[in-house]
Amino acid sequence: MSKKSENAPSRRKFLKTSGSAVAAGTALSQIPIENVVHAAGSDTVSVALVGCGGRGSGAIAQIRNTRGNTRLVAVADVNTKKAKDRVDGYKKQFNDWVDVPEDRVFGGIDGYKHAIDSGADLVVIATPPGFKPQQFEYAVKAGKHVFCEKPVASDAPGVRRVLAATQEAKKKNLMVGIGLQRRHEERYINNVKMLHDGAIGEINLMRVYWNGRGIWYRNREPGMTDMQFQCNNWYHFTWASGDQICEQHIHNLDVGNWVMNDYPIMANGMGGGEERVGGDRTKSQIFDHTFVEYTYASGHKMYSQGRHLAGNKTFSHVAEYAHGSKGTCKLASAIVPNKGEPILMKGKGGGHQQEQTDLIEALMKGDIYNEGEYGAKATFTAILGREACYSAQVIKWDDLLKNGKDYCPGIDKWTVDTAPPAVQGEDGKYPVPQPGVWNPFA
């Protein structure tokens, strides 16, 4: 170990006092490993997982794959059996890396509190977006470092909570990582820097797409309460997922904001959900297609397409494009100047692994970065677009952030027996926003 490493504070001391700030999105994996403060014995970074779905499981596996000294110590999920099964699977996959006895496996809506209070240093939050603001807030109050998957909320009140908790995290020198993995991919970092340096001149238009196929649906199981069913089938309920524009299209919207180096001041849009789950509104309430025109303070625009339709006959495309006064660019692929040859982008992808590598190496080194603000504002960009599509109105950022609809009223007191916000009508169908009628401020 180098002299620099020997003189650096221990990880345990760092977790109590923290260190200096580093720029969000810095590729910390470029730090020579010999200059990283290695953890040993009590210097292990202990991790608690809140939310045992696909992204939670992926994040844990990727943390395990880093070069840091880490250990999984607690797991929580609203479904207790799912949490127990996930731990059993981890133990088979990762052996002694998993130190999760039965009394550190928690279920129920408030199980996250017990997992966060279990003594972990780092909390991974990978629950449905509607639940994340309260969980993020609780983790910060408890003095924990946080990795929170995107999106970080499903409504304006949730975004406000995350923004406030982000400021508290900064005061406490707590690490905050957000699952917008393109920010950690070398190819995107290099490309955005070139655009900011003027490779295609002044950028006046972004086009962003997440047009894909149909998505999963989980049937109601015997004995499930309405809350348990909607938590298990969370993608199909706006209060839980924020709709497709929040849950997936957020990645492309975030890149657009990153390139523009700004956030939109207003949006208008259109959309609908005629084919979601075969058009059966007893199963889903979200849209399956949206189109949004975002406007920035400069007057420049970002056009957004988001769609999820089953089958192979629709235009499927996930990408971001920048248009400038001197050329165009397909992000992380190629810059095409009006004059001269195309410039192919170089650099690594693999953002899901890289974001965990960066986070754990920063903790080992004693550095802090905080991605909470752009995570919350990327989320709100998606919410702004959703409400513009739901209402068919021009919606202003400031108005919606201050007065936007609360999709999760009273969430801090919810249990699995609480009636969820989306309630079926007499016809058995869930309410679907009707453009021209929907009130985004009610």
Q: How confident is the model at residue 366, as a pLDDT?
A: 87
AA letter at 141:
K
Residue 151: asked if its preceding bond is cis (omega within 30°), the reply is: yes
SS3 of residue 159 by DSSP: helix
Phi, psi angles (nearest 5°) of residue 68: -85, 165
Q: How confident is the model at residue 375, as a pLDDT?
A: 98
Q: How confident is the model at residue 34, as a pLDDT?
A: 31
Helix (H) or strand (E) holding 335: strand 334-337
Phi, psi angles (nearest 5°) of residue 371: -100, 10
Written as one string, the DSSP assignment of 289-330 is EEEEEEE-TTS-EEEEEEEE-SSSSS--EEEEEEEETTEEEE
Architecture of the domain spanning 186-348+379-413: 2-Layer Sandwich (3.30)
For the chain of 442 residues, list the mean pLDDT of each consecutive stretch of 10: 37 40 36 32 83 94 95 97 96 95 97 97 98 98 98 98 98 97 98 98 98 91 94 96 97 98 98 86 94 98 94 90 98 96 94 97 93 98 98 98 98 97 94 95 89
Class of domain 3-182+353-372 as given by CATH: alpha beta
**Stated pTM of the model:** 0.91
Q: How confident is the model at residue 289, as a pLDDT?
A: 96
Residue 139 to residues 115, 148, 243, Cα–Cα distance (Å): 10, 10, 25
Q: How confident is the model at residue 313, as a pLDDT?
A: 83
Residue 187's contacts (CB-CB under 8 Å, 6 or more residues apart) are: 332, 345, 346, 347, 348, 349
Residue 21 to residues 24, 83, 338, 369, 385, Cα–Cα distance (Å): 9, 35, 39, 6, 32
Tens of pLDDT, residue by residue over 385-432, are 999 999 999 999 999 999 999 999 999 999 999 999 999 999 999 999
Give the tokens for residue 441: 């401020």
SS3 of residue 406 by DSSP: coil
Cα 251 off chain centre by: 8
Bridge partners, 72 (sequence order): 47, 98
Distance CA 363, CA 355 (A): 12
Q: How confident is the model at residue 25, as a pLDDT?
A: 37
User: Tokens 């080992």 identify what position?
Assistant: 364
Please tell me the total number of residues recorded for the chain in this structure.
Answer: 442
Locate CATH 3.40.50.720 in the chain.
3-182+353-372
Q: How confident is the model at residue 214, as a pLDDT?
A: 85
Q: Which runs of E-coded beta strand occur in 165-282? A: 176-178, 203-212, 266-272
Locate CATH 3.30.360.10 in the chain.
186-348+379-413
Q: How confident is the model at residue 187, as a pLDDT?
A: 97
Q: Which runs of E-coded beta strand occur in 51-128? A: 70-76, 105-106, 122-125
Is residue 306 a contact partner of residue 245, using CB atoms and an 8 Å limit? yes
Q: How confident is the model at residue 24, as a pLDDT?
A: 36
